[in-house]
Structures are given as structure tokens and as C-alpha cells.
Amino acid sequence: MSEYAIELKGINKSFGPVRANHDINLPITQGTIHGIIGENGAGKSTLMSILYGFYQADSGDIFVNGDKMTIPDSQAAIAAGIGMVHQHFMLVENFTVLENIILGAEGGNILNRAIGNARKELLQLEEDYGLTVDPDAIIEELPVGIQQRVEILKALYRGAEILILDEPTGVLTPSEADHLFKILRQLKDQGKTIVLITHKLREIMAITDNVSVMRQGTMVATRKTSETSVADLAELMVGRRVLMQVDKGDANPADVKLAVENLTVKDSRGVSMVDDVSFEVRAGEIVGIAGVAGNGQSELLEAIAGIMPAETGRVLLDGEPINVTGGADPALLREKGMVHVPEDRHHMGLVLPFEEYENSILGYHNQEQYLSGAFLNIDAIRADAKEKIEQYDIRPPNPRLKTANFSGGNQQKIVLAREMEQDPVVLLIGQPTRGVDVGAIEFIHKRIIEMRDAGKAVLLVSVELDEIRSLSDRVLVMFAGKVVGERSPETSEGELGLLMAGVEGQAAE
């Protein structure tokens, strides 16, 4: 058998004038975890999509276990022992775990017999790899971390010896990510080869054996992970030295711009997701909310933004009460100076089939500068979009490109540019760098600090504890819908972690 599970030689792929992959050579050693990193839009996902048969290379060769292969589609990739877990899961949400795993691979005309055989095989896979899942659970009722486990099981059920994971921790909590890494190490110990596409350098250092760096469609380096560092990889990714720590001076907080008083928010089941929460955010400061995902941070942000009605309590914007219990009007809040960067840019921040310039004014399209009488002034909107593209380094710099065709980091910049350029009083920002590469993270963090220093009141929600500690002037910790403590950003990660786990007494000690 070849030393390499995968070997790509001279891979080229263009989409019109855009060269996504240029003369890529990539050997991946059998039985290792190989990381592929690069900025958003560097060509990582395109390269793996070629390997998995979603795209066809314009030129170049693919070798699997030493054999030259043509992979015209995903069925051919699966037959070659290649499985892929996508960033956005390919699961039917109202099907059970078992139904999803056998979908497309039923293996017989009699469905009951196929399901019975699959159940036995699934239980054996769970035992072999420690991937315990209830076969009869409905997908939409499972946490994201378990859904990802189903995707891995689905690939293993189809006989995958080579497993590609595209940004696997982008939707996971830190504890879920740690559990995923344990699973990947176990798969490696069983002889599987893992290809990990990510932009998170700390994950690369923690889990991989080797790492390859892509920049602007080319492969610029491959390193043994033990022989490199976060700073070196960041420089290779971006092509310059990257500031790994947020550079900010002391805050100069002024008047209270956002006051939340005894806010309680219940979900559709009547469960209190936000439970009697009170705090203030002043002009010229960043208040960060730390917590494991699912502890009420998302609901808190949505209630303040007028998206989700509160059960009780009140919110004051620059001293003026907002009717949050009756469901505030988000458009009216925008007029009064509250802007919102939502946690989920795809579902709440953008209309992906729209062109970039159309998304650049969503929610603000009735403003005078975008109108010509009763109609939209398209030339003015496109000119405004070009300015934002330049200011926020949105790539490619094309306001006519459909938003779905931008990378995740550049989609995030489109949302940030739209909201930040409104000169707000209060900025609500959820998960500002989710799915964003290191160069864009540095840019976004600088912009948030600039907003603070311009006298804006910033409320920040992030599951990235490093991000909360780096950006915030004060840190509130949420657990089970309550604010269980307020700390300075210098507080140790251990103490904040205890608070996030609801262990308030031990944290205080």
C-alpha cells in the first residue's frame, strides 16, 4: 500500500475569471490527521470538493492509496473510501438517525430488512468508535454536536477510510469540540485518515499531525505540526505578520445607553430561556456575555433587538423605554440607533440569492440617500456598496456578485459594514467571528474596538472565551438563563469556566 492515503498532483480549478485552485500538490499520509488552513476564499473547500466529486478539476491527477482515480461524483468518492462531513450538515431533519444513515444506501428492495441490518451495523460502529447515538432519535431534536456525530457515522457506514471534515467546530461549543477531537483521535488510532479543514489555528496545533497552508488558491507550505507555531501559520495564511492579541487602550465609559431590567424571555414551550436578567451598557464600553451556547445568550440578544418578545421586564435605549413585552419593532429600533449583527448571518443577516449591494442596505433601504423619489436609487446604492467593500476589505470587491458566492468571512463583513456604518448608539453583536479566518478576525476585532472608542455602547455575545476576554471591558457570565456573575476580562479562564458551568461558589473561592 502507498505511503499516502491521498495524493493530489497539479490540481487546477477556475470559476470563470476566478482561479480557485492553482497547481495544487498535496500528499496526505496514511493514518494521520492532516489540517488544511487558509483565509476564507483561499480555495480549501474547493480543493476538497474536487476530491469528493462535487467539482471536476480543470487539470491534475488524484491518487487514492497509490491508485490514480477519476472521481466524477460523490458516489465514486464513497466507493473509493472517501467520506465528507460538511460545514452545514446534509441531514433530513424530520428523519430519525437510522433513516438518515441509510438514506441512499438502503442495500435492498425490502426496506424493513435493510433497516434491521443497518441497525445492527450502526450499533457495531458505535461500539467500535465510541460514537453513541440513539438510532431512533429525530434529527431536529438533537444538539448540533450529536448531529455532527450522525454525519460521521453516516460516512463510516458507507465504508469511509478517509474522512474529510469541513470547519467541523464552527457550530460546536468548546466542550462539544473537545469531544469531537477525542473521536477523531480514536478514528486515527483505528487506522483512518482524517483531513481537517479549519481556520482555527489552536485546533490545528491541538489535533493534527501535519498542516498545509493555502493562500489565494495556491499551496504555500506543508509543515509537521510539531515543528511550527500559531504565529508562523498565521503569517503563512495571510502573507504578513498578524496581531494575535487585541490591541486596545482603557475604556472611557460615559452615560448609560442600554439598560436591561428584570428581563424574562420564554421560548415556544414556555421554558424561561432568559430569567430575570438586569445589566447596563455605557457609551464607550464593551460588555461581553460569556457562556456555553444554549444558556440564554441568543434569546437575550433577540429580545433586546425586538425579534423575540419578552415575558416580563423592560429595556431602555438611551433612556427611552422599549416595548419588548409586546414585541418591539426592529425597524423602529434601528431608527432610534440600535443596530444588530445577528448570530446566524445566513438565516437572519443576509438574503443569500441577493447581490452584495442589495444586502448592503437591507433594513435601511428607506433612507433618503438610497431613494430617488419613491424608487430605489440603484446607482447610489451600488456606489455606497463599493465604499463599504473598500473600507471593510470585502473580497472579491464586486457589489454585483451574489452574496451566496462570498466566503463566510466576507459575508460577515457585509453584515458588519451595513450595521456599523449607521453610526449607532448601541451595537448588539452576536458571534462576530464565527466561521471567520484569522486575518478577518483581526480586522473585525479592530472595528469593534473602533466603535467603542467612538463612544458607542457595545453588547457582545460570543461562545469564544478568548474573544470575550480580549474585547470586553466587563464580562457577564450566563448560565441557565441567569447572569451568574460579573468579572473583569483579566479573570482567569478557569474561574470563568466554573461560572459558565454554574459552579458559582467554587468560582468565588
> Which CATH number covers residue 276?
3.40.50.300
One domain for residues 152 and 97? yes
Examine the domain organization and report whether 17 and 73 are in the same domain: yes
Domain assignment present for residue 344? The answer is no
On the 0-12 / 13-18 / 19+ scale of CB atoms within 10 A, 446 is middle
Provide CB contacts within 8 A for 187, sequence distance 6+.
129, 152, 163, 194
Q: Residue 419 domain-assigned? A: no
110 part of a folded domain: yes
Q: Which domain holds residue 489?
A: 247-337+425-432+457-509
Residues 90 and 225 in one domain: yes
Least confident window among 45-54, 117-126, 432-441, 472-481: 432-441
Do 252 and 305 sit in the same domain of this protein? Answer: yes
Across the range 397-418, mean pLDDT stands at 92
Domain match, 152 and 277 both: no
Please compute the mean of the pLDDT values over residues 360-370 and round it to a whole number.
Answer: 95
Question: Strands 285-290 and 474-479, how do they pair?
Answer: parallel
Claim to verify: residue 195 and residue 276 sit in the same structural domain: no
In which element (H, E) is residue 258 found?
A: strand 256-266
Residues 230 and 329 in one domain: no
Among 88-92, 318-322, 328-332, name the most confident range.
Answer: 318-322
**What average pLDDT score do residues 480-498 get?**
91
Would you state the pLDDT for residue 507?
40
Residue 170 lies in a domain: yes
Residue 500 has pLDDT above 80, yes or no: yes
User: What integer pLDDT is reported at residue 447 of this predicted model?
Assistant: 94
Question: Is 267 part of any domain?
Answer: yes
Is position 192 within any domain? yes
Q: How many domains does the chain have?
A: 2
On whether residue 417 sits in a domain, the answer given is no
pLDDT in tens, 207-226: 999 999 999 899 999 999 99
Q: In the predicted model, what is the mean pLDDT of residues 303-331?
A: 92
Tell me: do 215 and 298 sit in the same domain.
no
Q: Has residue 74 got a pLDDT over 50? A: yes
Same domain, 51 and 106: yes
Instruction: For residues 172 and 104, state if they share a domain.
Output: yes
The last residue of a domain, from among 208, 238, 268? 238
Domain-ending residue, one of 198, 216, 238: 238
End residue of a domain, out of 238, 256, 276: 238
Percent of the chain with pLDDT over 70: 95
Range in 30-34, 129-133, 269-273 the model is least confident about: 129-133
Q: In what order do the strands lie in the sheet with 210-215?
A: 82-85, 162-166, 193-197, 33-38, 210-215, 218-224
- Of 413, 35, 87, 44, residue with least CA distance to 230: 35
Report pLDDT digits (tens) over 239-276. 877 665 688 899 999 999 999 999 999 988 899 999 99
Domain-embedded: residue 351: no
Q: Report whether pLDDT(320) > 50.
A: yes
**Length of the chain, please?**
509
Residue corresponding to grid cell 490514480: 68
Q: Are residues 251 and 316 in the same domain?
A: yes
- Do 45 and 157 belong to one domain? yes
Give the cell for residue 368.
433618503
